[in-house]
């Protein structure tokens, strides 16, 4: 963030015989010089440009100082760099480095139309706010909120970004589904109390494939965790199969998604699934011997013991057919810990232990991907309307897509190849620099004391070697 010139001095404890004095007079200094790497990612992936193309601009062309693409870029880069609130942009609008990232032709802001705006190349919070608050249909009498987002176009874009990450179609992929809580502290539309989470919240649905985000759907919390998942999965699978008709697709989710509608759809569409299955007395009765065996082994060794069993099972009313269930009879220090999963996969492909330990338990990695959404402020859903909060969620989703592309293209085979977004931001993006703008160049003089120059150089070289439009 740019420092403002302020002649007030701050006296600190001296260093031996030297006075230590601080002043806000360093000039055009930014804390985010590493954002130039994100700009290189954008030049190769066009994630922000294509996201901006999902908006429809109904403003009068002759009165526009900030294009939709510039506004969207400013907001997405801001989130990636750690600025969660629109209020932050009333100061960030002075930062020439962020203006460079947003592709402002004059990053100094010296050519702004109004005198009061000169020196502020970027938009303030009120202008950016219109990206979120514009209705789906812009009425003729609307004066300010005239930049409408096509939500379905963003959904398609997330799938397209995922497909482009592969040079060749994979033989098989696993789609992870999960719901989480998004706590609310106001009277937002769709706000309800959720007993499990113990508070008022939204209940967004996320769908990932590995590190790739395919769906971020904001929902009220007075619904089942699986609500709407068939429609979302059907849309995503259709998009994937259009590009990769032979790819084998497996759905994975916890017991909240073990629903007849989803399993039946998968069976009809040739999609495999492995889903957690809630415990009940009938299921536990199936593994009494295995649970006793696990308890005996635990008493003998003092170590956690697992015994696996598989069988056919059908509920009395809700399921349309019997299905394969894999049971884990486990005994821990605290006692028995049975678990069950239901799957369409046969034993010839996945035997019981392997299916549970290697396939199903791997879904825990998705929890880290959801945490990364929070690192990019996906929980900042504080506007009054569900639609505008969904748009905020999309902005965070695109910031994540940009960071994931940086990790995939620029950080492969580096110490940050598996790092989370917050670590990448701290170690690679938060670099102090002096920014000098001349007629022919933008000079970004980064701090000599930055501790990871070799990592930065490696990421830059790998990005510049990556194929893609520039």
Model confidence pLDDT, tens digit, residues 180-207: 999 999 999 999 999 999 999 999 999 9
Q: In what order do the strands lie in the sheet with 433-437?
A: 29-30, 433-437, 442-446
SS3 of residue 168 by DSSP: coil
Predicted pLDDT of residue 23: 87
278 phi/psi in degrees, rounded to 5: -60, 140
The residue with greater pLDDT, 170 or 144, is 170
Predicted pLDDT of residue 469: 65
Encoded tokens for 343? 């799957």
Encoded tokens for 255? 């017991």
Residues 59 and 134 sit within 8 Å (Cβ to Cβ): no
What pLDDT band is residue 5 in, cutting at 50, 70 and 90?
A: very low
Percent over 90 (pLDDT), the chain = 93
Q: Which residues contact residue 459 at a Cβ distance below 8 angstroms, ignoring those fewer than 6 apart?
A: 37, 406, 410, 411, 414, 428
């Amino acid at each position: 963030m740019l420092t403002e010139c302020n002649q007030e001095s701050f006296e600190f404890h001296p260093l031996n015989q030297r006075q230590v004095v601080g002043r806000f007079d360093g000039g055009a200094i930014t804390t985010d010089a590493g954002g130039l790497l994100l700009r290189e990612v954008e030049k190769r992936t066009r994630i922000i440009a294509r996201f901006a193309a999902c908006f429809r601009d109904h403003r009068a062309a002759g009165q526009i100082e900030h294009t939709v693409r510039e506004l969207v870029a400013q907001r997405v880069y801001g989130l990636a760099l750690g600025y969660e609130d629109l209020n932050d942009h009333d100061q960030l609008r002075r930062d020439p480095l962020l203006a460079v990232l947003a592709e402002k032709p004059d990053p100094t802001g010296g050519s702004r139309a109004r005198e009061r705006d000169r020196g502020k190349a970027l938009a303030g919070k009120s202008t950016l706010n219109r990206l979120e608050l514009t209705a789906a249909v812009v009425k003729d009498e609307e004066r300010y909120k005239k930049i409408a987002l096509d939500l379905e176009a963003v959904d398609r874009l997330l799938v397209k970004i995922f497909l482009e990450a592969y040079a060749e179609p994979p033989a098989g992929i696993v789609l992870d589904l999960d719901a989480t809580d998004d706590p609310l502290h106001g009277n937002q539309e769709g706000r309800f109390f959720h007993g499990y989470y113990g508070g008022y919240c939204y209940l967004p649905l996320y769908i990932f494939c590995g590190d790739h985000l395919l769906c971020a759907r904001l929902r009220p919390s007075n619904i089942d965790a699986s609500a709407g998942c068939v429609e979302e999965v059907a849309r995503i699978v259709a998009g994937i199969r259009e590009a990769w008709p032979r790819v084998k697709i497996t759905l994975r989710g916890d017991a909240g998604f073990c629903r007849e509608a989803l399993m039946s759809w998968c069976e009809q569409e040739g999609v495999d699934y492995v889903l957690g299955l809630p415990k009940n007395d009938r299921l536990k009765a199936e593994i009494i011997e295995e649970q006793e065996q696990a308890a005996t082994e635990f008493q003998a060794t003092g170590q956690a013991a697992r015994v696996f069993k598989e069988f056919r099972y059908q509920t009395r009313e809700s399921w349309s057919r019997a299905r394969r269930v894999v049971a884990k009879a486990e005994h821990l220090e605290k006692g028995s810990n049975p678990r069950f999963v239901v799957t369409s996969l046969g034993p010839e492909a996945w035997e019981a232990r392997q299916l549970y330990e290697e396939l199903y338990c791997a879904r825990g990695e998705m929890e880290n991907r959801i945490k990364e959404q929070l690192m990019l402020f996906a929980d900042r859903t504080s506007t009054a309307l569900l639609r505008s909060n969904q748009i905020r969620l999309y902005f965070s989703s695109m910031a994540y897509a940009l960071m994931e592309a940086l990790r995939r293209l620029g950080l492969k085979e580096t110490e940050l190849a598996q790092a989370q977004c917050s670590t990448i931001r701290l170690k690679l993006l938060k670099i102090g620099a002096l920014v000098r703008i001349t007629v022919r160049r933008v000079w970004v003089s980064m701090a000599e004391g930055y501790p990871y120059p070799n990592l930065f150089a490696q990421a830059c070289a790998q990005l510049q070697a990556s194929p893609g439009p520039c």
